[in-house]
Structure 1
Amino acid sequence: MNDGARTAPAPDDGGRAARSAVVVGGGLAGVTAALALADAGVRVTLLEGRPRLGGLAFSFQRGELTVDNGQHVYLRCCTAYRWFLDRIGGAELAPLQDRLDVPVVDLAKPEGRRLGRLRRDPLPVPLHLGRSLAAYPHLSLAERAAVGRAALALKGLDPADPALDSQDFGSWLAAHGQSARAIEALWDLVGVATLNAVAGDASLGLAAMVFKTGLLSDPGAADIGWAHVPLGELHDRLARKALDSAGVRTEVRSRVTSVSAMENGGWRVEVPGERLESDAVVLAVPQREAHALLPPGALDAPERLLGIGTAPILNVHVVYDRKVLARPFFAALGTRVQWVFDRTHASGLRSGQYLALSQSAAQDDIDLPVAELRRRYLPELERLIPGTRGAVPKDFFVTRERTATFAPAPGVGRLRPGARTKAPGLYLAGAWTATGWPATMESAVRSGVSAADAALSALGRPRPSRLFAFEEAA
């Protein structure tokens, strides 16, 4: 090898030349693609520019705390992410609820703080939510009935219909009898957390996919799961262990500077101080970074990638001197607070209680100074959680992901590319690609599977049987 180039020429067990691949990006999409390729006998190098794996679902240290950059949850219907957890040996560390149960605290009513719940019964769809909806105190009787009618209409939509992608969900809801209150207290309660946009800013196609899959497909589809350990334990430590066991060469702090096709049909990937040559490349990076690395002609209209907007998520972290909340989490209405999670045990905190507030579609707050956010959020927590009154906030800090997800705006579907490009051997992965899902951990894993599947087909390698087990569970 010359000029620092590295290849993978060793024969495999069948006597054929081993095929090789480079995966650029160590988020969930990249890790999934790397594992899938390695499981099929491909020699894989995974390159990540940051000092850790996990992409935008990671942990860091703050004194004695191990802090997740943001609260990430998944649903029982997220079969690909559940496969991923199994593949890295982390399923027991991120368990699912036995049954959907979401406490919802409302501060908007004149009579003051009121608690309701969204939970399912062991009945078939749509009866599984019937009793909960009928008793939901945050909507009037007429609004609850209208919600039921809209849900039935939503069930009849095809999320893959391109016409739905050009419409916004808010207008559709209004046309189907949904009041502003119903949108706030139910549709946006779910939609903002999953889509990272309010109904009026969200594609009807993506919204239909979320609600049909999560609430109208299977009684247990919306049961919630979340990591009971720091995300870094799953997406970095266990992921790296799985990659090592699969034979993947993993390099962090290795930012790719160029990707180019070679005359022999292979690919050259360059990082400072090294050049790698491979049969295939998977670009598992954000859309703008992918656009910068794409060689000419790889996509018909590469500028479309730049048309995929982004949306922020703000996370507010508060450590109190005592236990203030008995529930593991709750959602809120009538306040700027959206979702509150107890992260005490997962963070390693030994005394007091650590609450994390997840604020999606946070365009109005994302750039505010910490002092202003403290002034805004601490009084809201006192209104929501009686136990905080008299408790002392020992620490208050925020984490900001200004480009946390792609923006699920109307028309985004036509901008999202598939895994294959026009350049043979070059593939795309990332939650922003055409998975049919919004920007979730599920979408990221599915994109990695799609990219690996396309690459394996071109390389003449069989699919690993366990890779697509999640499709059978879907």
Structure 2
Amino acid sequence: MSGRNLRSSRAVVVGGGLAGVTSALRLADAGLDVTLLEGRPRLGGLAFSFRRGDLSVDNGQHVYLRCCTGYRWFLDRIDGAHLAPLQDRLDVPVLDVGRLAGPRLGRLRRTGLPVPLHLAAGLAAYPHLSLAEKAGVARAALALGRLDPADPALDGIDFATWLQRHGQSQRTIEALWDLVGVATLNATAPNASMALAAMVFKTGLLSEPGAADIGWAAVPLGELHDTLARKALDSAGVRTQLRTRVGSLTRTDEGRWAVGTDSELIEAETVVLAVPQGEAHGLLPDGAIDDPGRLLDIADAPILNVHVVYDRKVLRRPFFAALGSPVQWVFDRTEQSGLQGGGQYLALSQSAAQGEIDLPVAELRRRYLPELERLLPAARGAGIRDFFVTRERNATFAPAPGVGRLRPGAGTRAQGLHLAGAWTATGWPATMEGAVRSGFSAADSALRVLGRPHEHPLQEAA
């Protein structure tokens, strides 16, 4: 042990992202003594905030939907639901600048009618598709509704191939399917597993009328995923250690787990590894899962966020999506950031950003400021108080065809060792919802092994 302290804990959770925090809360709520270890100086994983001068900046724009029952449980559990409100009804402004007449505004909206009629009026009024294309969308949606996202055959084909087989034009894919799919899957249709695409669209658009209503944090993400999460963990009796990296995971002679950090060795009956797949691969003992090398085959996909602070108000909506432009989604972050001195702070969320993630800031500035002026006439002539970017090169796992067979479940062959993380087999893409659900699955797996089954509030929605 080379001078390291030795102590024990009934359960150890390695990783303080949404998956790890969820697992720790669930285990503590079941009465276990829990230690949570996180290498960073904060909780929240890849959904966090930082300071830039007087601004509180989210590393990226994160949203959730009403159908995200896991993340909504998480918000309730940390007493933060009121800080991340949902729309009353789905309403997405969509600006198309790919026309000579200038930007044209359309909206994707729902009504209160039953599924699938709740989207009919919005689709009929959507100006970015022709009448024939709208009819084709309706036929494809009905076909999609008959699919089982858990069918392994769907994981072997890409979303674009399925859409083309069902008569979807390239314009329809761009103006509707990819508009939603790129933001939720972090991949364009040719690069997305049909199984994951079916799950997103069937759950979000075809499960219940309000399923796709959008919610986002009205405060910096750090207030939710770090400050309130830490308060909830403390109240539950979880011992949280930040700046604590785990370097080893071994079995003791007594059959317990020894979790090694730089300063101590913690013995536990059960361990949840809630870390990225590469890190999990490095810690897994031999024989814990079949073909552990497959974890290294789960590729990552980047997300780029472009942050612009103007000297005046240039956008009168909370957010919009764009067509005919490299700009994807734009959010007003003025109030959440605490911006002082007037002006407006916009954040551009650019998913599937493989071609841009490493571009210099100056080049991104040349690319995106003129595009914002095309989209927002009020931005023409406005002064730029600040321009910066945040890059998450490993923001999500890549939802490529075939990824489903690579994702392991929560349980392992090693007694008392469990896996969590959005990259595990949740059936969801790499979202905050997927992360929380993975934390539930890992905690449930651990409690079953310990003979402590616990009520699962997500079972109906899972």
Which amino acid is the alignment partner of residue 471 of structure 1?
Q
How far the C-alpha of 1:462 sits from its partner, in A, is 3.4
1:293-332 maps to which residues of 2 (within 5 A)? 293-332=283-322
Paired position in structure 2 for 1:93: 83
How far the C-alpha of 1:262 sits from its partner, in A, is 1.7
How far the C-alpha of 1:110 sits from its partner, in A, is 2.8
Aligned partners of 1:74 and 1:23: how far apart in 2?
25
Within the candidate set 367, 381, 384, 2:372 is matched to: 381
Residues 1:469 and 2:460 aligned together? no
1:344-355 maps to which residues of 2 (within 5 A)? 344-350=334-340, 351-355=342-346
Structure-2-length-normalised TM-score: 0.98
Paired position in structure 1 for 2:383: 392
Within the candidate set 387, 404, 415, 1:413 is matched to: 404
Residues 1:200 and 2:161 aligned together? no
Within the candidate set 422, 437, 442, 2:413 is matched to: 422
Aligned partners of 1:408 and 1:7: how far apart in 2?
38
Q: Is the 8 A contact 2:306 2:348 kept in 1?
A: yes
| Pairs aligned (count) | 460
Aligned partners of 1:285 and 1:363: how far apart in 2?
23
Aligned partners of 1:295 and 1:330: how far apart in 2?
47
Within the candidate set 6, 14, 17, 1:24 is matched to: 14
1:16-65 superposed Cα distances (whole Å, 9 cap, x missing partner): xxxx1100000000000000000001110000000000000000000000
Residues 354 and 3 (structure 1), Cα distance of their counterparts in 2 relative to 1, 3 Å cut? closer
* Secondary structure, aligned partner of 1:470: coil
Q: Percent identity?
A: 76
1:198-239 superposed Cα distances (whole Å, 9 cap, x missing partner): 000000000000000000110000000000000000000000
Which amino acid is the alignment partner of residue 377 of structure 1?
Y
1:143-185 superposed Cα distances (whole Å, 9 cap, x missing partner): 1110110111111111000000000000110111000000000
* Secondary structure, aligned partner of 1:381: helix
Which amino acid is the alignment partner of residue 225 of structure 1?
G
Residues 1:360 and 2:351 aligned together? yes
Paired position in structure 2 for 1:257: 247
Residues 1:455 and 2:446 aligned together? yes
Residues 1:441 and 2:432 aligned together? yes
1:328-367 superposed Cα distances (whole Å, 9 cap, x missing partner): 0000000000000000000001221100000000011100
Q: Is the 8 A contact 2:154 2:194 kept in 1?
A: yes
Paired position in structure 1 for 2:232: 242
| Unmatched runs of 5 consecutive residues or more in structure 2 | none
Paired position in structure 1 for 2:140: 150
Structure-1-length-normalised TM-score: 0.96
Paired position in structure 1 for 2:6: 5
Within the candidate set 88, 92, 97, 1:107 is matched to: 97
* Secondary structure, aligned partner of 2:196: helix
Residues 1:122 and 2:123 aligned together? no
Aligned partners of 2:142 and 2:87: how far apart in 1?
26
Paired position in structure 2 for 1:16: none
Aligned partners of 2:322 and 2:186: how far apart in 1?
16
Aligned partners of 2:175 and 2:281: how far apart in 1?
39
Q: Is the 8 A contact 1:79 1:471 kept in 2?
A: no
Residues 1:224 and 2:214 aligned together? yes
Paired position in structure 2 for 1:12: none
Aligned partners of 1:367 and 1:421: how far apart in 2?
37
Residues 1:38 and 2:39 aligned together? no
1:282-301 maps to which residues of 2 (within 5 A)? 282-301=272-291
How far the C-alpha of 1:387 sits from its partner, in A, is 1.3
Aligned partners of 2:383 and 2:327: how far apart in 1?
19
Aligned partners of 2:23 and 2:381: how far apart in 1?
50
Paired position in structure 2 for 1:17: none
Q: Is the 8 A contact 2:21 2:229 kept in 1?
A: yes
Aligned partners of 1:206 and 1:353: how far apart in 2?
36
Aligned partners of 1:188 and 1:122: how far apart in 2?
25
| Unmatched runs of 5 consecutive residues or more in structure 1 | 9-19
Aligned partners of 2:109 and 2:253: how far apart in 1?
59
Paired position in structure 1 for 2:165: 175
The alignment yields a C-alpha RMSD, in angstroms, of: 1.0
Q: Is the 8 A contact 2:4 2:263 kept in 1?
A: no
